[in-house]
């Protein structure tokens, strides 16, 4: 097992290297660079020498392979460099936003779990009845309603009916938990509802499959309560694929909430990503893409480990 873990961790390196090469090249292909955009923003006339000087300062005048090599060399020492736009260290810029993004992702995942598992199990138990149809419509609607629009509607509802707006500035959970929750619960609900949709359907089909197993019939024959059969025998065995879905969605929530953050005015990873890519802040965008794909690959790995832990039949060698 230890060998397997080590192997998987080592295998992440070539994948992340591939991601690094890809994003590095894609960004250089994009027209315009940060210096041009900076001067275009001020509207002032920029002498050619000034532009050249600034490019040299950022290291943009060096050949591509050298830029790439020095970037990778830095990452090897956990030094991601400075943001080309603000000049501050990238780790610092990301750290102040990661708390918000991480918390929102965790909350949205919790919302999705609390919605999807009971609803999915219920739909499976009442297969082909109106309950099943209602759950199906509810979950397909969750995939159809854009979470940013749901966010607008939630804010609008509070504004019209209660003359109240969620707080606009982020307070850390550790400083003021109430203010923090009052701000983040709404985007978490909007996003969590959307993400519960896939998990609900996964739970439904997994429970349906398990309910046909012999051991369920045995449990019924023993005269066990339906409740015990459902929770202890069926649900426990049906949860494996559900965990995969929820895990992968959690990975996408870090950095994938680009639009929702915009609606709720949250300064998270997604917002930072949009800002840095439109500013052609190469170093920042590269670091963010690496972070997002690292989280994705890492969560994939953790899901596999949870599998082995939950299901003794699965052993990795």
Partner 1 sequence: MFALTSRMHLWLEASLRFVRHQPLGAAGLVIVLIMVFAALLADVIAPYDPLRNDYTAMFQPPGATHWFGTDVFGRDVLSRILYGSRTALWVGFSSSFFSATLGAILGVTSAYFGGKVDLTLQRFMDLLLSFPLIVLALVVVAILGTGLTNVILAIAIPMIPRCALVIRSSALSLSRTPFVEAARALGFSHWRIIFRHMLPNVMAPFLIMLTAFLGQAILLEASLSFLGLGVAEPAAAWGLMLRGAAVEFAERAPWMAIFPGLAISLSVFAFNLFGDSLRDALDPKLRVS
83 phi, psi to nearest 5 deg? -65, 135
Helix (H) or strand (E) holding 225: none
Q: How far is CA 14 from the centre of its chain?
A: 22
Nearer to partner 1, 131 or 145 (CB): 145
| Subset of residues 70 to 129 that bind partner 1, contact rule: CB under 8 A | none
Least Å distance, CB 116 to partner 1, is 17
Among 104, 207, 292, 303, binds partner 1 (CB under 8 A): 292
Cα–Cα separations (whole angstroms), residue 65 to 82, 84, 269: 19, 19, 28
| Subset of residues 210 to 229 that bind partner 1, contact rule: CB under 8 A | none
- Report which DSSP code applies to 103: H
- Report which DSSP code applies to 32: -
Least Å distance, CB 105 to partner 1, is 12
Distance CA 74, CA 61 (A): 18
Nearer to partner 1, 120 or 219 (CB): 120
Least Å distance, CB 215 to partner 1, is 23
Token pair belonging to 284: 């920042």
Nearer to partner 1, 106 or 277 (CB): 277
Does 13 participate in binding partner 1 (rule CB under 8 A)? Answer: no
Q: What's the half-sphere exposure (Cβ side, CA atoms, 13 Å) at 286?
A: 27
Token pair belonging to 249: 């969605």
| Subset of residues 120 to 139 that bind partner 1, contact rule: CB under 8 A | 133, 136-137
Among 117, 273, 287, 303, binds partner 1 (CB under 8 A): 273
Least Å distance, CB 232 to partner 1, is 28
Among 13, 160, 175, 221, binds partner 1 (CB under 8 A): 160
Among 5, 56, 110, 140, binds partner 1 (CB under 8 A): 140
Query: Which residue(s) pair with 82 in the sheet?
Result: 89
Does 51 participate in binding partner 1 (rule CB under 8 A)? Answer: no
Other CB atoms within 10 Å distance of the CB of residue 59: 15
Distance CA 2, CA 224 (A): 40
List, in sequence order, the alpha helices (H) in the chain: 2-29, 34-42, 48-58, 64-76, 90-125, 130-144, 147-157, 177-211, 214-221, 226-228, 236-256, 258-263, 269-278, 282-310
Q: Which stretch binds partner 1 (CB under 8 A): 25-33, 57-65, 166-174, 233-241?
A: 25-33
Nearer to partner 1, 173 or 301 (CB): 301
Contacts by 75-78 with C-beta closer than 8 Å and gap 24+? 75/20, 75/290
Least Å distance, CB 81 to partner 1, is 19
Does 149 participate in binding partner 1 (rule CB under 8 A)? Answer: yes
Nearer to partner 1, 181 or 297 (CB): 297
* Binding-site ranges for partner 1 (CB under 8 A): 15, 18-19, 22-23, 26-27, 29-31, 133, 136-137, 140-141, 143-146, 148-149, 152-153, 155-156, 159-160, 252, 255-256, 258-259, 262-263, 273-274, 277-278, 280, 289, 292-293, 296-297
């Amino acid at each position: 097992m230890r060998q397997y873990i080590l192997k998987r961790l080592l295998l992440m390196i070539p994948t992340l290297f591939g991601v690094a090469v890809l994003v590095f090249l894609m960004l250089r292909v994009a027209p315009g660079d940060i210096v041009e955009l900076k001067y275009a923003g001020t509207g002032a006339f920029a002498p050619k020498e000034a532009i050249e000087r600034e490019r040299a300062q950022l290291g943009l005048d060096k050949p591509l392979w050298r830029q790439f090599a020095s970037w990778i060399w830095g990452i090897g020492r956990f030094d991601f460099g400075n943001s080309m736009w603000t000049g501050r260290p990238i780790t610092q810029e990301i750290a102040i936003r990661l708390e918000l993004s991480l918390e929102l992702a965790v909350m949205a995942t919790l919302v999705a779990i609390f919605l999807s598992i009971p609803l999915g199990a219920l739909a499976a138990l009442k297969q082909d009845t109106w309950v099943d149809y209602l759950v199906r419509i509810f979950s397909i609607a969750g995939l159809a309603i854009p979470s940013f629009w749901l966010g607008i509607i939630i804010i609008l509802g509070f504004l019209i009916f209660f003359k109240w707006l969620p707080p606009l500035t982020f307070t850390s959970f550790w400083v003021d938990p109430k203010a923090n929750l009052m701000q983040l619960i709404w985007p978490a609900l909007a996003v969590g509802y959307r993400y519960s949709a896939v998990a609900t359907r996964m739970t439904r089909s997994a429970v349906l499959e398990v309910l046909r197993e012999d051991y369920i019939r045995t449990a019924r024959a023993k005269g066990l309560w339906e409740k015990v059969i459902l929770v202890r025998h069926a649900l426990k065995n049906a949860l494996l694929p559900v965990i995969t879905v929820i895990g992968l969605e959690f990975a996408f929530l870090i950095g994938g909430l680009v639009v929702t953050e915009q609606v709720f005015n949250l300064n998270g990873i997604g917002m930072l990503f949009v800002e840095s890519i439109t500013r052609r802040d190469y170093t920042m965008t590269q670091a963010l893409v690496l972070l997002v794909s690292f989280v994705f690959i890492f969560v994939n790995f953790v899901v596999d480990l949870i599998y082995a832990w939950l299901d003794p039949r699965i052993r990795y060698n």
